[in-house]
Amino acid sequence: VTWHSLGSSPACPQGLVRGPSGDLWFTDEVSCSSVGQEEAISRVGSISRAGTVHTFSVPSSNDQPMGDIVEGPDGNLWMTGSRGLDNAVFRLTRSGKWSTFLDGTKGPFEWANTIVSADGSLWFPEQNLRGTSPGRIVQVSTSGAVKVHELESKVGGVYAQPVWLAPDREGN
Whether 87 shows a pLDDT value over 60: the answer reads yes
Burial grade of 64 (CB within 10 A; 0-12, 13-18, 19 or more): buried
Under 8 Å between Cβ of 66 and 41: yes
Look at 62 and 161; give whichever has higher pLDDT. 62
Q: What is the pLDDT of residues 38-74, one digit of tens each?
A: 555 577 888 888 888 888 888 887 777 776 788 888 9
Tell me the pTM.
Answer: 0.75
Q: 25 falls in which pLDDT band (50, 70, 90)? A: confident
- 4-32: buried (b, 16+ CB within 10 Å) or exposed (e) per residue? eebeeeebbbebebeeeeebebbbbbeee
pLDDT at 108: 56
DSSP three-state, residue 124: strand
pLDDT at 10: 60
pLDDT at 102: 76
Whether 113 shows a pLDDT value over 70: the answer reads no
Across 68-72, 90-94, 152-156, least confident range? 152-156
Residue 159's nearest CA partner among 138, 137, 130, 139 is 130
Burial grade of 55 (CB within 10 A; 0-12, 13-18, 19 or more): middle
Q: What percentage of residues in the chain have a pLDDT greater than 90? A: 1
Look at 150 and 120; give whichever has higher pLDDT. 120
Q: What is the pLDDT of residues 128-144, one digit of tens each?
A: 666 666 777 788 899 98
pLDDT at 164: 55
Burial grade of 138 (CB within 10 A; 0-12, 13-18, 19 or more): buried
Look at 78 and 168; give whichever has higher pLDDT. 78
